[in-house]
Amino acid sequence: MIPEENGLLGAGNTAGGQGAQFRAENTGENGGGSSGVKGLHLSENWAARGQPAGAAARSAAAQPADPAALPCRNSNNCPNRAPGKAYKLRRVVEYLRGSVGQAQRVTDHVADENAANEGLDRDGRLWRKIDETGTWEKILGGVTSAEAKRAFALRSNVEAFFEHYGRDVCGFLTFSPEKGGPAASDPKELAKRFHDARKHALRWVRSYFRVLEPRADGSAHHHLGVATTFSLEPDKFDWISLAVAQDQAPRRGRPPGPQFYEMRRRYSESAPERLRACWVELREVCRRYGLGRSELLPLRKGPGAVAHYVGAYLKGGLCYRQDEWKGSRRVEYDRVESPLWKRAASAFGWVSPGARAWRQRVSELAAAVLVAPDDFAGLKRLFGRRWAYLWRPVIMCEPERRWREMLHWVATEHGGDVARKPMLCAGSEVLAWWHSLSEFKETGALFAGREGFDWNAFVGGRTNGLEMRL
């Protein structure tokens, strides 16, 4: 991206202009008209760019008045926790769209102003309420970065789970609670009942992972991968008879097909004796603990295919939300043996040009305030625990020229440094560069070019073979 054309040449490169709009007061407190970043006060112009309107007020209002009233910190699946709030859907939403240094603020609104059952989330995705129980269905929009990370981590961990224990001893366990029952309407209740059942029965479950699949009717469907203490002998199982039996099974008032009972007998006889004993035990356990209908089967395919299959359940479930389910875990791992096989968590960064550009600007900001590039605790101490959220509009929206102006000013105030950075390259040869802090103080210019470089040709658009490195 070419920086702003106004002032590319001449006096626009000096320390005056936009750079003079900054003023600071390193007190560690936010004041009126500030950027909302702890320890950094900007002018009114930069404050408007630095954070969304009212962000500081919303942040202050979000703080609880009584910390003692907070629920247990490990209460995601606790049935006795404080009632959760409904999802915050808005009629109008403002968000950032675009790459680092080129992003713009986008405002979306619900097209039908009279539609009370529609709303936008903070990422601009449209949701519609499909019943009175608080079930929301996503109408427009894809998956967020956090959801994509969660799905990637799930696929990696599922694959690691089956590779660790082996295909022979692993199986799929599905719970379908009765519609209208407490376990179907509240995932936290089903989690509690499953843990009670595993504590007092189901001793053959060595380890597990669980995925919640919300349904359009507001009920919960749970898929578990389990590692058992015996071999399920998947290669001896009659998969053809199982497929025919499932196709002809009685459901929704339809009678069983003509081959249903014969096919069910065949695949049951092909299962090992201990698996058949588990089927009998599961029927009794589900009746006793209110877990609904269950199904336990061996693995037909390898770990990679199974991981993709389970990830599709999570992705499909992300299209539905239930107000009462807010805060429930969509994915849960066994807390006892998961350290032996768990491969990934959802707190990571993508290896992509956008993520690389973000990390580059964060490292430049850290150097300007005299903090190590990977010392996020230092940035937290200086700007507050929400530093990434408050700095995001500045990092994403400001073009390189204004970003460098701000870095020079911040480095001067905090005693940090700003390194020289390539601005224009032809292959591996640097034709122009952004000045370091010392060069900026000496010359008053933000950037300079190699001797003999034709700036007029550059500004005129004759840049064949040249590459902007921002």
**What average pLDDT does this structure show over 429-442?**
88
Chain segment 145-198, per-residue pLDDT in tens: 888 888 889 889 988 999 999 999 999 998 988 877 777 778 888 888 888 998
Q: In a 3-state reduction of DSSP, which class is residue 287?
A: helix
User: For residue 448, what are the β-bridge partners?
Assistant: 433
**E-assigned strand segments in 48-155:** 92-97, 104-109, 118-120, 126-129, 135-140
User: Where are the domains positioned within the chain?
Assistant: 10-63+350-468, 145-341
Angle at 433 between CA 430 and CA 435, to 5 degrees: 150
Cα 325 from Cα 190, distance rounded (Å): 12
Output the pLDDT for position 327: 75
Residue with tokens 């500045």: 394
Q: What is the pLDDT of residue 305?
A: 75
Which structure tokens are listed for 206?
């060595």
SS3 category, 206: strand
Half-sphere exposure for 222 (CA within 13 Å, toward CB): 30
Q: What is the pLDDT of residue 216?
A: 66
Helical (H) or strand (E) element with 408:
helix 400-414
The average pLDDT across 38-58 equals 41
User: What is the average per-residue pLDDT within 233-256?
Assistant: 89
How far apart (Å, rounded) are the C-alpha atoms in residues 463 and 210? Answer: 55
* Rounded Cα–Cα distance for residues 358 and 363 (Å): 9
Residue 54: per-residue pLDDT: 43
Q: Strand 429-434 and strand 447-449: pairing?
A: antiparallel
Give the model confidence (pLDDT) of 276-318 as tens digits: 999 999 999 999 998 888 999 998 887 777 777 777 767 766 7
What confidence score (pLDDT) does residue 455 get? 61
Choose the most confident range, by mean pLDDT, from 120-134, 166-180, 183-197, 228-242.
228-242
Confidence of residue 364 (pLDDT cuts 50, 70, 90): very high
Q: Would you place residue 87 in the very low, low, confident or very high pLDDT band (cuts 50, 70, 90)?
A: confident
Rounded to whole angstroms, what are the CA distances from 181 to 185, 291, 433? Answer: 6, 9, 66
Q: What is the pLDDT of residue 30?
A: 37
* For the chain, percent of residues with pLDDT exceeding 90: 32
Model pLDDT, residue 4:
34
Between 214-218, 251-255, 360-364, 388-392, the lowest mean confidence (pLDDT) is in 214-218
> What is each CA distance from 65 to 60, 74, 81, 327, 341, in whole angstroms?
10, 21, 18, 21, 41
pLDDT tens sequence across 385-405 = 999 999 999 999 999 999 999
- Whether 19 has a pLDDT exceeding 60, the answer reads no
Whether the full predicted model's pTM is greater than 0.75, yes or no, is no
The number of helix segments (H) and strand segments (E) in the chain equals: 16, 15
Give mean pLDDT, residues 372-395: 92
∠ CA 354-359-361, nearest 5°, is 100
Quick one: DSSP state of residue 227?
E
Pairwise pLDDT comparison (12 vs 160), residue with the higher score: 160
Burial class (CB in 10 A: 0-12, 13-18, 19+), 225: buried
Q: Is the dihedral of CA 329, 333, 334, 335 positive or negative?
A: negative
Average pLDDT over residues 112-122: 79
Handedness of CA 264, 269, 275, 278 (dihedral sign): positive
**How many whole angstroms separate alpha carbon 389 and alpha carbon 391?**
6
Average pLDDT, the chain: 77
Separation CA 175–CA 210 (nearest Å): 10
Q: Where are the alpha helices (DSSP H) in 186-302?
A: 187-200, 239-247, 260-270, 273-289
